[in-house]
Each structure stands twice: as C-alpha cells, then as structure tokens.
Amino acid sequence: MLLFGGASLGLAPTVWAQRTDSTRTVKPQLNTAPPGSAPVPTAPPVYQPAPTAPAPTTPPPDATPDPNVPASRAPYDPSRPSGMDLPQRPGVAAPPPPLRKYFLYTNLGLGFSGYNGYNQFSASIAPAVGYRFSERFAAGPGISYAYNHYSFGNGGPSISTKSLGFKGFAQFIVYKEFFVHGEYEVTNAEVLGYDLLGNLGVYKNTVATPLAGVGYRNRFSDRAAADIVVLYNFNDGFNDIYGQPVIRFSFLFDLK
C-alpha cells in the first residue's frame, strides 16, 4: 500500500505538468498590431442606369407646322440669319424687304414734231443716279445727250445738231406701277437760228427744258425694271431740242 501511495505521489507532478502544458496551448494570443482606429466600413455602390438623350421634338422639314404654335410678331430684322424666322401667322402678310436707297436710272428718248413743212426728229440718252426718300418718292441728278435732225419741205435744207446738258428728275408712284415723272434740264445746245441777213444756221445756246408726264413700270426682278414714260415738253419753241411729245424708255437697276 505504501508503494502504491508513493507511486501515486511520484506520478502527481507529471500529471500536473501535463495539465499545465495543456492549459498553455489554448491560452489566447495578444494583438501585436500597432494601435489605431478601426477601419470604417464602406457602403456597397448603388447601381445607377446611364442617362439617355431625350427624343427630338423638331418635326421633319416637310411636316406641316403646328397651328397651335404662335407665329412671331417681332419686326423684320435684316441682320437675322436665314432660317431664324418663325412661320407667319395665317392671314398676316410677310414683312416687306428692306428699302434699297440708290439706283441707276438710264433712259432712251425719241421725239418727233412737225408743222408747215418743218419736221424735227430727236433721240436722246440720259443716265442718272436716283435716291429713294420713301417707297413712293425718288429723285436724283443726271446728264443728257441729244441728237436732232431738222428738215424743211419744198427743197429746204436738212440740218443735224448735238447737245449736252445736266438735269434733275423726280418720280412719285401714284398707284401700284403707275407714276408721275418730272424733269428740268439745262443744256448747252446747238439750235437753229437766223443771222442778221436772214440766213438759217446752227448756233450754240443755253436751253432750259421742263418736262412732265406719266409712266408705267414693269419689273423683271426685285432689283431691275423697265419704264415707259410719255412727257409733255413745255419748251415747245424754236430753240427746242426735243420733239413733242417726248417718249422715253428707261431702265432701272437697284444698287443697294
């Protein structure tokens, strides 16, 4: 019995050591990381669909404009680029084009008169520059060149003369393409005259010629037109360089 007891005492430290070693194997390990704040958890990304472009609302070029869309009532602006004007409101006329102030006005004239065996034929050309003060009234200066041929019956002489002068003209549109026309011309003219012995000859003289009448205009385009004008010659005397009446064919061209 003592031997068993001594053996038991002799084995006790070994069993205790085994228990102690078993306890050490399950001992929790200390955290050896450096001190610091714990990481903040991040939220998972939220899915967002890609934006889509809105569908175009402009109608195709050949589509009929929407009658419910109001048209522009703004005044006409010539500096606005083409294509920026809204469609005109039904029943409202389009704005007129800008007024072109300056134009070239050249006329060709024909005239004939005769009495008691005396006949006079005249042809003239007179370029001018006109200025429009309004849509209906225009005026301007010009120059004139005239050729005249005189013939006398019963075997009389035939005489030709040439003349150069300056003039001013004015026009006023009365109704649509009809207008009244007036001119006043001062010409350094070759005219017929008699000397002290009664001989007929050609003499230089300054002749003033007032003309007035009516005309009609035929437009070829927005910038070109042709006029026919019938004028009465108020200087219907012997020093006249035109016939009676004076018929002129004029050409008009707008500059700007």
Q: What is the C-alpha to C-alpha distance for residues 133 and 141, in angstroms, rounded to an integer?
A: 14
- Please give the structure tokens belonging to residue 218: 């035929």
What DSSP string runs through 162-173?
EEEEEEEEEEEE
Which of 107-111, 172-176, 177-181, 246-250 is predicted least confidently?
107-111
Residue in the block written with tokens 């002749």: 207
pLDDT(110) > 90: no
**Cα separation values, 254 from 85, 99, 227, Å:** 26, 10, 14
Range with the largest mean pLDDT of 73-82, 99-108, 190-199, 208-217: 208-217
203 in Cβ contact with 210 (< 8 Å): no
Check pLDDT > 50 for residue 22: no
Encode pLDDT of 136-160 as tens digits.
999 999 999 988 888 887 777 788 8
Cβ atoms within 10 Å, residue 150: 20
Q: What is the model's pLDDT at position 172?
A: 96
pLDDT in tens, 44-82: 666 666 677 666 665 555 556 555 555 555 555 556 555
Amino acid at 173: I
Residue 31 CB coordination number (10 Å) = 7
Any idea what the Cα angle at residue 122 is, between residues 117 and 124, rounded to 5°? 175
Q: Domains of the chain by range and CATH?
A: 102-254 (2.40.160.20)
From the DSSP assignment, how many helices (H) and strands (E) are in the chain?
A: 1, 8
Question: 102-115 and 246-254: which strand pairing?
Answer: antiparallel
Q: Which residues pair with 158 in a beta bridge?
A: 151
pLDDT in tens, 225-240: 999 999 998 887 667 7
Say what the pLDDT of residue 33 is: 55
pTM of the full predicted structure?
0.55
> Which residues have a Cβ under 8 Å from the Cβ of 235 and sit 6 or more positions away?
207, 208, 209, 210, 242
